[in-house]
Amino acid sequence: MAILDVRNLSVDYLTDDPLAGSGRGSIALHAVENVGFRLEQGRSLGLVGESGCGKTTVMMALLRLLPQEGRIVHGQVLFDGQDLLQYSEAEMRQVRWRGISMVFQGAMNALNPVRTIESQMVEALRLHSIIEQPRAARQRAGELLQLVGIPPRRGRQYPHQYSGGMRQRAVIAMALACNPRILIADEPTTALDVMIQAQILELLEQLQAELYLSLVMVTHDLGMVAEICDDVLVMYAGMVAEYASSDAIFNNPQHPYTQRLLEAFPDVEKPGSTLASIPGSPPRLDDLPPGCRFEPRCQCQWREAICAQKVPPLVEIEPGHCVACHWARRI
Amino acid sequence: MERSNYILRKIVFSVGTLIAVLVFNFFLFRILPGDPVKLIIHSPRMTREAQERIRANFGLDKSVWFDVERLREGDVLGAFDSQFTTYMRNLLRGDLGISFATRKDVTELLAERVWRTVVLVLGGNVIAIVLGMAIGLIAAWRRGTRLDAAILLWGLFSWALPTFFLGIILLILARGHLPVGGMATPGLRPEDGLTYWLDVGKHLILPTLTMAIVYTSEYILIMRSSVMEVLTEDYILTAKAKGLSTLRVLRDHALKNAMLPMVTMIALTFGYTVGGAIQVETVFSWPGIGRLMYEAVQKRDYPVLQGSFLLLAVSVIAANLLADLLYTVLDPRVKAE
Amino acid sequence: MESLKKFLRNPMGVLGALMLLVVVCAAIFAPWLAPYDPKQRVEVTPEDILAPPDAQHLLGRDDAGKDVLSLLIYGARVSLLVGFTASFMSMFIGTTVGLVAGYYGGRIGNALMRLVDFLLVVPDLPLMLVIIAVWGRGLWKIVMVISLLGWTYTARLVRSQVLSIKERQFVLRARSIGAGSLRIIVRHVFPQVLPLIIAQAVLDISVSILYESSLAFLGLGDPTLVSWGMMLNFAFERAVSRQAWWFLLPPGLAIVWVSLALILIGNTLDEIVNPRLRTHHLFDARRMVALVAEGEAAAE
């Protein structure tokens, strides 16, 4: 059974004063609509798409860490068979870090600057009763640091004394402290230089193999996906465009967007560059087209009226390969 | 940056500020139009003896800064014998002059009263800091709720309320229930032991309460904005993601980070509390340095004014330096790179 | 303007503006609003001293037999005059210092900032008290002394803004086409900084009014004018024992009124100019999961 099974997840963001409640002049932006995927234990999933396509929102929704304006309006998040969306806040606290942990985007700032690295790791260990004894916990924290290639005695130092790459690794170590089943890494290598990027990737691969960890990598870097991910979920404007194994995506992309992404592939590795080869930009959330969201930018030769009129359903064209495009299934 | 480097810079700055204050103090009373000292000297109410003493003390027969005449004569050392150097010399000896009004030694007057102001200022501030931080934390956490709005409004309202006016209101309200003036009931003396001190304590209630109310709201506003700032940081999100409860996040992550800017702000506010003490002491006739200054203004007792100002300024400079040093201990980022 | 609309949507801001309007009207229309002219000499009998309120004197009479309500209304003029001029001067000095320190930086910048730090450390009220005591009483002296200490906040604010703007694209572009420093400052940097300065200036006005009232209360107000602080000085000296609340309370309440009005306005302006966009992470998350039925979610 899949360790994580997300079904028809939809997330809205309320604009204007969120405390006024919806219905009092605030608009609901449909940031994520009908997203679903499965994750087996020990496998890794790459979640790919442009900035703002909703990938981070999906991940935050899993752990219920959305900002105040966020509302999960639909779906099921089955973690080991249990629907997390039915959990109370107290129950969620048990799942967080212990069942599913997360490495946020811009992890450099994820550490409390006035506490030692060690103390922050010990906190995680003791909170989830992995190890209660302070001394033993500190010992374990040291081991975890070693696992990510940081000398254990540096645990006594403060975050500002670590380099960016080290901080990233420390955050990963901390995320593993409670032996989670799933690790979500949101843009783990953005803003790091190429050498460090390679190190981090290697580390993640290694950890995955050693600990039989399930990994979700949120990124817009296809190179990274090609290296580590078993499966890929391509998102566009809050919806799933294509979902298949890594092989299928790279060798047989069906969705026009995926195809364009791959064409732009060599450029994507340059930091900071947008997908300049696809003209236009994603639709605004308050101005979504009635049909396929990619249609305005789609240059596919089989484009027809139906594309702009009806949202294409996600269809399994081959076992394990789903696409949301009116024409993909006809090929 | 290097911690020792940082500390050194702060000490140098404090010393520099101190010297600037000393120079300013001297300058103010000798140079500004009206030269008060000269006016007083010739007041018929002064006895000859007192006039002589003051003259000698201030060195009024000497030039103000620097005696060019004597330099020309070749007397280099003598050239420095001016009012300013006399002033500095006296200062180093702890001689702050003589009160025009009471003819007592200014230093003596200040020494007598200083603990009374210290008790008031410290008492008021300690209460204000503790309460202010607690309420500010709650307000920031409950941001956007009615509780927060109420606390914010109270804070703004207190800010608009002049300290002395609050004192007057409390005075009117408490009349008959609590002593409203002076330090002790006439008739009681320190020799009466505990009775006396309890009485003093009772007299201290209203002034301290006034200080506490005014400055609590100040600290509430500061803490509230500090905590709100901290709560937007990524490490708070991480703490939440770890599964920590809201209370634990506040206690173990938010609090320490929010307190750092508080330390600096408390030091800055300390200067204001000293000003507040002047008002409170005036309203409640609490015989401290503040009240002394008020009376000195009325009586045009310039040496006392000068001396009190110096004392207050030095205290505030020292407090700021202490706060800066404390900050280096608390913030691990101020260390060797 | 956009900002005006935003301001009007904020209830605190509107309340503050209305409250201020009351005071401004009192100041401008004083000769028509006040029942008596405080400058006119009155013949008083002993009963008139600190007389309680009656039909002819709605707020009673002060220690010299004058009508308190009239004094109160005319007092608005002094407070607003001091407040606005002192704040304007602070704003002017502070902006200039901030612009220079921020734009030119280097030794001048550092020296100016040391000066700011110095003025911030020295205790405010004792300093003002001592200067006025020696220099002499007078409205303009008070205004100058208040602005002497007040410009530091604006200076710091302006400098930090200038530092961040200095490196931005449009400034670099202007320099590359040879625009002189002064021109850049006036045409590019200043307009960006202005909204913040104004928000600060409004708060400065209330601070100035509070300082003036404290100084006046302590006996250092302008003897030719009657400000609210001075009324409180007289009231405190003579009316406390007589429990003449009509003389004691109104001036103080008036000070609170105008300060509160300005603070509300200033706070609102600050929120508009300095919006805190980042959300804070500790909120009640119970509403996050708001599952709606299948049909509804799709229909939206």
Say what the pLDDT of residue A19 is: 47
Nearest Cα neighbor of A124 from A181, A87, A176, A169 is A176
- Inspect the interface and report whether the beta carbons of C260 and B157 lie closer than 8 Å: yes
- pLDDT of A200-218, one tens digit each? 888 888 888 888 889 999 9
Q: Model confidence at A23, in pLDDT bands (50, 70, 90)? A: very low
Say what the pLDDT of residue B70 is: 63
Residue with the bigger pLDDT between A264 and C266: it is C266
Inform me whether the pLDDT recorded for A324 exceeds 70: yes
Give the one of B237, B243, B331 whose C-beta lies nearest to A97's C-beta.
B243
- Inspect the interface and report whether the beta carbons of C288 and A73 lie closer than 8 Å: no
Pairs of CB atoms within 8 A across A/C:
35
Hey, of C82, C134, C207, C286, which one would you mutate to test binding to chain B, going by the most B CBs within 10 A of its CB?
Answer: C134
Of A187-191, A327-331, B30-34, which has the strongest mean pLDDT?
A187-191
Give the one of C286, C288, C291 whose C-beta lies nearest to A74's C-beta.
C291
The tens-digit pLDDT sequence of chain B (337 residues) is: 567 888 888 899 999 999 989 888 887 776 655 555 555 555 566 666 766 676 666 666 666 666 666 666 666 666 566 777 777 887 888 777 777 777 788 888 899 999 999 999 999 999 999 999 999 999 998 888 899 989 998 999 999 999 999 999 998 888 877 777 778 777 777 777 788 888 888 889 999 999 999 999 999 999 998 999 999 899 999 999 999 999 999 999 999 999 999 998 898 899 899 999 999 999 999 999 999 999 998 888 888 888 999 999 999 999 999 998 898 888 888 754 3
Give the one of A28, A72, A74 whose C-beta lies nearest to C288's C-beta.
A72
Say what the pLDDT of residue B142 is: 87
Say what the pLDDT of residue A201 is: 85
Q: Model confidence at A286, in pLDDT bands (50, 70, 90)? A: confident
Contact residues, chain C, for A85 at CB < 8 Å? 289, 291
Inform me whether the pLDDT recorded for A223 exceeds 80: yes
Say what the pLDDT of residue C275 is: 76
Give residues 219 to 248 of A whose Cβ lies within 8 Å of C: none
Inform me whether the pLDDT recorded for A329 exceeds 80: no
Quick one: tokens of A322?
A: 């789903």
Inform me whether the pLDDT recorded for C188 exceeds 80: no
Contact residues, chain B, for C248 at CB < 8 Å? 168, 172
Is the CB of residue B82 less than 8 Å from the CB of residue B30? no
Nearest Cα neighbor of B113 from B104, B101, B100 is B104
Contact residues, chain B, for A171 at CB < 8 Å? 238
Segment A135-154 mean pLDDT:
91
C206 reaches B (C-beta below 8 A): yes
Residue A127's CB: how many other CB atoms inside 10 A? 22
Nearest chain B residue to A160 by CA distance is: B333
B331 reaches A (C-beta below 8 A): yes
Nearest chain B residue to C240 by CA distance is: B172
Say what the pLDDT of residue A20 is: 46
Spatial separation of the C-alpha atoms in residues A138 and A123, rounded to whole Å: 10
Contact residues, chain B, for A128 at CB < 8 Å? 243
Contact residues, chain C, for A10 at CB < 8 Å? 297
Give the one of A19, A96, A113 whose C-beta lies nearest to B333's C-beta.
A113
Segment C11-40 mean pLDDT:
88
Neighbours of chain C (3+ CB pairs under 8 A): A, B
Inform me whether the pLDDT recorded for A325 exceeds 50: yes
Chain B: give the shortest CA distance to residue C16, in Å. 12
Say what the pLDDT of residue C299 is: 44
Burial label for C6, CB within 10 Å (0-12, 13-18, 19+), is: middle
Chain A: give the shortest CA distance to residue B111, in Å. 41
- Determine phi and psi for B238, rounding to 5 degrees: -60, -45
Give residues 64 to 123 of B whose Cβ lies within 8 Å of C: none
Spatial separation of the C-alpha atoms in residues A234 and A252, rounded to whole Å: 14
Chain B: give the shortest CA distance to residue A90, in Å. 8
Residue B46's CB: how many other CB atoms inside 10 A? 16
Contact residues, chain B, for A96 at CB < 8 Å? 240-243
Segment A129-144 mean pLDDT:
90
Say what the pLDDT of residue C127 is: 93
Give the one of C285, C291, C300 whose C-beta lies nearest to A85's C-beta.
C291
Give residues 45 to 84 of A whose Cβ lies within 8 Å of C: 64, 66-75
Inform me whether the pLDDT recorded for A197 exceeds 70: yes
Say what the pLDDT of residue A18 is: 44
Say what the pLDDT of residue A22 is: 43
- Inspect the interface and report whether the beta carbons of A104 and B239 lie closer than 8 Å: no
Of A161-170, B298-307, C4-13, C75-84, which has the strongest mean pLDDT?
C75-84
Widest distance between CA atoms in chain A: 67
Inform me whether the pLDDT recorded for C295 exceeds 70: no
Which residues have CB under 8 Å from B298's CB, separation 6+? C219
Hey, of B235, B248, B249, which one would you mutate to test binding to chain A, going by the most A CBs within 10 A of its CB?
Answer: B235
Say what the pLDDT of residue B126 is: 95
- pLDDT of A224-254, one tens digit each? 888 889 999 999 999 999 999 999 998 888 8
Which residues have CB under 8 Å from C284's CB, separation 6+? none
Lowest mean pLDDT among A253-267, A270-284, B34-48, C84-98: B34-48
B295 reaches A (C-beta below 8 A): no
Say what the pLDDT of residue B240 is: 93
Residue B154, CA distances (Å) to B273, C205, C252 in order: 19, 20, 17
Inform me whether the pLDDT recorded for A295 exceeds 90: no
- pLDDT of C161-181, one tens digit each? 888 877 776 767 777 777 666
Q: What is the DSSP code (8-state) at residue C216?
A: I
